[in-house]
Amino acid sequence: MNEILKLQQKLVPELLELLEKRYNILKNIYYNEPIGRRILANRLNMGERIVRTEVNFLKAQNLIEVNTPGMTVTDEGEEVLEELKNFIHEIKGLTEVELALKEYLGLHDVVVVPGDADDDESVRKEMGRAAANYIKSILKNDSIIALAGGSTIKEIIDNFPKINSMPEVLVVPARGGMGRNVESQANTLAASLANKLKCNYKMLHIPDNLSDKALNTILNETEIKDVIDNIKNADILVYGIGKAEKMCYKRGLSEEKVNEILNLGAIGEAYGCYFDKDGNVVYATSTVCVSREDTKNIKSIIAVAGGQNKSDAIVSTQIKSTQGILITDEGAARKILENI
């Protein structure tokens, strides 16, 4: 198969380019249906005339339907998308990219999806889907899953596949609440995943930015201590990665504290810890979520993040995570490898 792909790329590269373009159009319709042509063209940064031509082709092949509310993908279209996924992965050489990234960062496993989340919002959904399938593949009936919050983790839960009831699984939030967006907070996501797995869950009703004094008082509560014990005994941790400066402001830190953290060399942030370029934790917020020390006892630590703009943050948080699993996109992966 690889030899045939190499020959195709040499003799008819435009064929593979057309295939990838139609795949991206179909994928974007799938993740945003129902969607109109104009909005689709804007999302893909393509001219409306080009989109119209490709849409007519996809419709003629019975891969999409065009109705008043917008375009939707047919069952046949969904099958084609699923079958094309591995093919696109191969023609873009992403297996080699995964191996190179795994070796450079020293990770347990790496999964790279095509595209760049900075340019195409559907890539974030693909990362969520890939992470969901990965979690499903390692899930056991007595697993404890700890989930951090954030929009990327929400994509995982939204795209989690159907699964038979696993009543002995326990889902817990890996941190307290942060920000005003309840839909993407760890408590909400833990409950949503538990609902899909038909299993138990526990909530942690604590803001994530309490003072040390207030936090120590709350941690003595029996109910809170019980949830925290479950979090620290988790065997699967799922979290996102942020750029240090952006996460400082998102947590409501003072300008003075932000400057202090950045002056320490912080580049990336994950589960309340700020990392420098060498993977050292230079600052940790007062939080009840898992610490860097706790992660050493967690069997599967799954980080999900993509986009070229997060490449440095990904490296800083992952380079010393020997048991870590990274789900990322092509944009971030290639940028990281370019900078070696």
Nearest alpha carbon to residue 112 among 305, 295, 318: 305
What angle, 0 to 180 degrees and rounded to 10, lies between the N-to-C axes of helices 151-158 and 121-138? Answer: 60
Evaluate whether 336 touches 116 at the Cβ level (below 8 Å). no
Same fold, 2-91 and 94-338: no
Distances (CA, A) of 114 to 120, 174, 193, 297, 306: 10, 29, 26, 32, 11
pLDDT at 213: 63
Q: Percent of the chain having pLDDT more than 70?
A: 89
Residues 252, 258, 260: CA angle, nearest 5 degrees: 145
Does residue 149 surpass a pLDDT of 80? Answer: yes
Distance from C-alpha of 10 to C-alpha of 213, rounded to nearest angstrom: 65
Distance from C-alpha of 291 to C-alpha of 170, rounded to nearest angstrom: 20
Q: What is the CATH number of domain 2-91?
A: 1.10.10.10
pLDDT at 176: 66
- For 153-192, write each residue's pLDDT tens digit: 999 999 998 787 788 999 999 876 655 667 888 889 999 9
**Polymer length in residues for the chain:** 340
- For 82-141, write each residue's pLDDT tens digit: 989 888 998 888 999 999 999 999 999 999 999 999 999 899 999 999 999 999 999 998
pLDDT at 77: 95
- 3-state secondary structure string, the chain? CHHHHHHHHHHCHHHHHHHHHHHHHHHHHHHHCCECHHHHHHHHCCCHHHHHHHHHHHHHCCCEEECCCCEEECHHHHHHHHHHHHHHHHHCCHHHHHHHHHHHHCCCEEEEECCCCCCCHHHHHHHHHHHHHHHHHHCCCCCEEEECCCHHHHHHHHCCCCCCCCCCCEEEECCCECCCCHHHCHHHHHHHHHHHHCCEECCCCCECCCCHHHHHHHCCCHHHHHHHHHHHCCCEEEEECEEHHHHHHHCCCCHHHHHHHHHCCCCEEECCEEECCCCCEEEECCCCCCCHHHHCCCCEEEEECCCHHHHHHHHHHHCCCCCEEEEEEHHHHHHHHHCC
- For 284-333, write each residue's pLDDT tens digit: 876 656 777 778 888 999 999 999 999 999 999 999 788 899 999 999 99
Compute the Cα dihedral for 159, 163, 166, 167 and give only its sign: positive
User: For the chain, what are the domain ranges?
Assistant: 2-91, 94-338
Report the topology of domain 94-338.
Rossmann fold (3.40.50)
Nearest alpha carbon to residue 166 among 194, 192, 187, 191: 194
User: Tokens at residue 23, please?
Assistant: 């795949």
* Cβ partners under 8 Å of residue 221, min gap 6: none
Report the chain's mean pLDDT, rounded to a whole number: 88
Does 34 sit behind a cis peptide bond, omega within 30 degrees of 0 on the bond before it? Answer: yes
